[in-house]
């Protein structure tokens, strides 16, 4: 418990409803799907790129038609 005018007094804290929904399984199943979609979307846009001005088509694994070193 914090007391009036201490540091914690000014900090937003969750309401009982918010706390309930954090562990309410049906709602969390919806959030589970939504968070996964958000993460997949983020990963798909920003994983890694290619060096500019070097438009090289990378071969598929196992494609060894070009001579190795």
Partner 1 sequence: MSRVLVLGAGVAGHTAALLLRRKLPREHSVTVVSPKPTYNWIPSNIWVGVGLMKPEEVTFELAPVYQRHGIEFRQARAMEIWPEGGAAEASPHVVVESTGAAAGERACVPYDYLVNATGPRLNFAATPGLGPDGNSLSVCTAEHAAQASASLGSAIERMKAGERLTLVIGVGHGLCTCEGAAFEYVFNVDFVLRQEGVRDRARVVFLTNEAELGDFGVGGTHMRRGGYRVHSKTFAESLYTERGIEWITGAHVQKVEPGVVHYETLDGVDHTLPFDFAMLLPPFAGQVIKAFDKGGADMTGEVFAPSGFMKVDANYAPKPFEEWRASDWPKTYQTPRFRNVFAIGIAFAPPHPISKPRKSPRGTPITPSPPRTGMPSAVMAKTVAESLFGMIAYDLPGPTRTASLAEMGASCVASAGASWLRGTAASMTMFPVVPDYERYPEFGRDLHFTFGEIGSAGHWIKKILHHMFLYKARGRPGWWLIPE
The Cα-based distances of 15 to 19, 24, 40, 51 in angstroms read 6, 14, 30, 49
Cα separation, 17 vs 23, whole angstroms: 11
Which one, 4 or 66, has the nearer CB to partner 1? 66
Applying CB under 8 A, which residues contact partner 1?
Answer: 1-2, 8, 11-14, 21-23, 25, 27-29, 31-32, 35-36, 38-39, 41-43, 45-51, 54, 56, 58-59, 61, 64, 66-69
Nearest distance, CB of residue 17 and partner 1, angstroms: 13
């Amino acid at each position: 418990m914090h007391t009036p005018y201490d540091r914690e007094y000014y900090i937003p804290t969750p309401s009982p409803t918010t706390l309930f929904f954090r562990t309410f399984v049906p709602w969390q199943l919806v959030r589970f799907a939504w968070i996964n979609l958000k993460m997949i979307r983020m990963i798909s846009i920003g994983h890694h790129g290619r060096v500019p001005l070097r438009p090289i088509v990378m071969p598929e694994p196992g494609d060894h038609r070009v001579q190795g070193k």
